[in-house]
């Protein structure tokens, strides 16, 4: 085993999150590479990465880098992740892993054959309340599972001026709402319930026309919402709604699992709590209380994300300090 030495590819929204995660986990940030040199430069300075590079090829040729984080738009996931695997790097590739199932399978097979670590950040798995929910299902607290249901709703593409590369199929892939956030919901459902979705029937809809860069209204080729019913391999039925045009829902992931004895409900807008439903009495289990299953604490360090405190607490310290601090600085440090 060797320490993590990361290169972040794509320095946008999630690239920042990856870079901070590397530092928070005592990894080394070797470089950040973005197609826009000013973005690479700004991130390398802000996050104090070791160096700026001018191309993805330079990242792959850099012997210091042992882990590549692919944080670019979806159509680049397959070529970039495959090139990183070919170069013998470990890879964390953002979701959706690829824009077609064939590409995703090819990546899985290549990573297996190369023996590299390959991961997709389905981050909702790491909420303590989700771990708690999973432990309750695994421990048969709910009894036989009867119904799986929920939704993933956002509203950031509601307006006709709202736009993003995800809307364009050649950048985001043929599916947008499902490929972008539906994959999170399905992963969470399968992770918590232990069930695999085997069959489904879906209806997708595009509800909006959007303004292009010139301000003209144009047709949108990717779906805004998907409503689907499904059945798992062992015959449990369910349904879900995925939407990026639901007003007032900034990022609402709700997962409900109804069993023969009791039910659980997780809502990402209140991630420190898990609702437990029963005929006699309902209750809410808060993270950090003794009622929360011990499994809940496995992945979330109380020091890093204390229960009841919103957001993540991060303190970034400078990597280098002056070798000869001025006398008055030294004095104030002792005070």
Residues that bind ligand NAD in the complex, under the rule CB under 6 A = 9-15, 33-36, 39, 71-74, 76, 94-95, 121, 123, 165, 180
Q: Which is nearer to ligand NAD, 271 or 288 (CB)?
A: 271
Radius of gyration of the chain (CA): 22
Whichever of 13 and 318 has its CB closer to ligand NAD, that residue is: 13
Comparison of 13 and 317: residue with beta carbon closer to ligand NAD? 13
Give residue for tokens 């990573």: 111
Comparison of 43 and 263: residue with beta carbon closer to ligand NAD: 43
- CB within 8 A of 5, min separation 6: which ones? 27, 28, 30, 64, 65, 66, 67
DSSP 94: P
Residue 97's alpha-carbon distances to 3, 10, 76, 94, 170, in angstroms, are 25, 15, 10, 6, 15
Q: What is the smallest separation between the CB atom of 10 and ligand NAD, expressed in angstroms?
A: 3
For residue 130, give the nearest of 255, 17, 14 by alpha carbon. 255
> In the bound complex, what is the minimum distance in angstroms from residue 281's beta carbon to ligand NAD?
35
Least Cβ distance, residue 327 to ligand NAD (angstroms)? 44
Residue 57 burial (CB count, 10 A): 12
Tell the smallest beta-carbon distance from residue 11 to ligand NAD (Å). Answer: 5
Residue closer to ligand NAD (CB basis): 92 or 236:
92
Within 10 angstroms of residue 214's Cβ, the number of other Cβ atoms is 6
The least CB distance from residue 273 to ligand NAD, in Å, is 20
**Closest residue by beta carbon to ligand NAD:** 12
Rank residues 161 and 281 by Cβ distance to ligand NAD and give the closer one: 161
Alpha-carbon separation of residue 102 from 91, 97, 147, 200 (angstroms): 18, 11, 31, 19
Q: What is the DSSP letter of 54?
A: S
Please report how close the Cβ of residue 264 comes to ligand NAD at its closest, in angstroms: 22
* Shorter beta-carbon distance to ligand NAD: residue 13 or 247: 13
Q: Show the DSSP H helices in the chain as ranges.
A: 13-24, 37-47, 56-61, 77-86, 101-114, 128-138, 169-172, 177, 183-193, 327-334
Minimum Å distance from CB 146 to ligand NAD? Answer: 29
Q: Are 77 and 97 in contact (CB under 8 A)?
A: yes
């Amino acid at each position: 085993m060797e320490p993590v030495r990361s290169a972040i590819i794509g320095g946008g929204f999630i690239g920042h999150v990856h870079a901070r995660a590397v530092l928070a986990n005592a990894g080394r940030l070797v470089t950040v590479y973005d197609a826009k040199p000013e973005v690479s430069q700004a991130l390398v300075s802000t996050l104090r990465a070791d160096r700026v590079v001018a191309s993805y090829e330079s990242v792959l040729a850099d012997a210091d880098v042992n882990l590549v984080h692919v944080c670019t738009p979806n159509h680049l996931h397959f070529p970039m992740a495959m090139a990183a695997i070919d170069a013998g790097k470990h890879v964390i590739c953002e979701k959706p892993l690829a824009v077609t199932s064939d590409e995703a399978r090819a990546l899985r097979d290549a990573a297996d054959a190369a023996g590299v670590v390959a991961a997709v950040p389905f981050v909702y798995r790491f909420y303590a309340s989700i771990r708690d929910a999973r432990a309750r299902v695994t421990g048969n607290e709910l009894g036989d599972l009867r119904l799986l249901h929920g939704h993933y709703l956002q509203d950031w593409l509601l307006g006709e001026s709202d736009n993003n590369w995800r809307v364009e199929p050649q950048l985001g892939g043929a599916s947008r709402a499902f490929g972008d956030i539906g994959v999170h919901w399905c992963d969470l459902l399968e992770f918590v319930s232990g069930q695999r979705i085997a069959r489904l029937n879906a209806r997708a809809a595009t509800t909006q026309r959007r303004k292009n860069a010139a301000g003209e209204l144009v047709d949108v080729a990717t779906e805004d919402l998907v409503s689907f019913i499904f059945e798992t391999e062992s015959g449990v039925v369910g349904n879900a709604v995925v939407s990026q045009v639901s007003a007032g829902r900034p990022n609402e992931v709700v997962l409900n699992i109804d069993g023969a004895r009791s039910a659980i409900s997780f809502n990402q807008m209140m991630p420190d709590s898990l609702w437990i439903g029963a005929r006699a009495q309902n209750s809410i289990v808060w993270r950090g209380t003794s009622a929360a299953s011990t499994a809940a604490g496995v992945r979330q360090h109380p020091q890093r994300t204390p229960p009841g405190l919103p957001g993540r607490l991060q303190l970034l310290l400078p990597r280098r300090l002056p070798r000869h601090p001025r006398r008055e600085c030294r004095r104030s440090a002792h005070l």
